[in-house]
Amino acid sequence: MASRHFDAPEGKTTQAWDWYGSKPEREALADLWSEGSLILRRRENFQRIFDVPERLIPDLWRREVREDERVLSLARRALSALGVTTVPWLADYFRTGGRPHLPRPIALQALRDLATTFDAAPVEIEGIAEPAWMAVDLIPALDRLRQRSGWPTRTTLLSPFDNLIWYRSRGEQLWDFNYRLECYVSAPKRIYGYYSLPILHRGRLVGRLDPSYDRKNRLLTIKSFHWEPTARPNEAMGRAVSKAISELCVFQGTDPDRWVMNDGESGLGGLQSDRRVGSRTP
């Protein structure tokens, strides 16, 4: 079932910013999906096709999950993914739209419960006054990092919806990384671009770039590029970012060298030429 299977109400007009268009059934389908009454079966040309859980996952559907079991399962998975968390970060991790599946009072109690079972350990985060907890099973990994072992080595571009930066306040608190999706901002007010992608380099957020893909000519253009104030760009970092851009080209379905810097962006957003990523021509 999809929203196209319903007729739009007669006489109702929509605006470009109407999230659900003219069909109330589209919003109803989204609500039923968010509460688990429907499951996303597949996509057809970006449109979501829904089905009922008892048909797609009959074994899981027959099993009744207690509320306390659901809460602890979500809390444990969120804590494991975040590594270290405060109550607001944990509450935000599993949500649909603006609705958290673990409201903050429930998230707080869940963290306390996980601490009693030694799944979570209370910790302090420098510069953050709120109480925090760490996943106990990640303590050995923290010890290895302190011994300079197992540090991240990859460089990649993050989606605006990546769970590392999904909760914007967390990024600001932990890394002083102020990120907003500016496609909803009028062009004159944008700072970093229409759809800027954060750059994750060896475990650090070092910059952001705004890509635009021309499907007809199979060419990716970097419309703007900015290093973070705390970044220390060098030749090796430039090569790593260039490789990440090439990987984005492949993801879009073109050749890895089919990308260029936008006119006027050779200095990467006004920075000095010795701080630029090497651009390529088609």
Q: What is the 3-state secondary structure (H, E, C) of 187-209?
A: HHHCCCCCCCEEEEECCEEEEEE
Q: How far apart are CA 241 and CA 206, in angstroms?
A: 10
What residues does 123 pair with on adjacent strands?
A: 132
Confidence bin at 281 (pLDDT 50/70/90): very low
In CATH terms, is domain 64-150 a member of 1.10.10.10? yes
3-state DSSP helix/strand/coil % of the chain, to nearest 5? 35, 20, 40
Q: How far apart are CA 146 and CA 276, in angstroms?
A: 31
pLDDT for res 280: 43
Q: How far apart are the first and last CA of the chain?
A: 43
Q: pLDDT, tens digit, for every residue of 98-120?
A: 778 899 999 999 999 999 999 99
In the CATH scheme, what is the code of domain 152-265?
A: 3.40.630
Q: How far apart are CA 202 and CA 237, in angstroms?
A: 9
Q: In this structure, which amino acid lies at residue 34?
A: S
Q: How far is CA 217 from the centre of its chain?
A: 28
Q: Nearest-5° angle of CA 46, CA 49, CA 51?
A: 160
Q: Which residue has the tokens 């970092």?
A: 237
**Domain range list for the chain:** 3-9+18-56, 64-150, 152-265
Q: Would you say residue 197 has pLDDT above 50?
A: yes
Least confident of 55-59, 86-90, 134-138: 55-59
The residue ranking higher by pLDDT, 59 or 92, is 92
Q: In this structure, which amino acid lies at residue 187?
A: A
Task: Report the pLDDT averaged over residues 175-189.
Answer: 92
* Stated pTM of the model: 0.80
Q: Would you say residue 282 has pLDDT above 50?
A: no
Q: Would you say residue 216 has pLDDT above 80?
A: yes
Q: How far apart are CA 102 and CA 36, in angstroms?
A: 15
Is-same-fold flag (64-150; 152-265)? no
State the Rg of the chain over Cα: 22
Task: Report the pLDDT averaged over residues 233-255.
Answer: 94
Q: How far apart are CA 201 and CA 218, in angstroms?
A: 26
Confidence bin at 266 (pLDDT 50/70/90): very low
Confidence bin at 1 (pLDDT 50/70/90): confident
pLDDT for res 15: 63
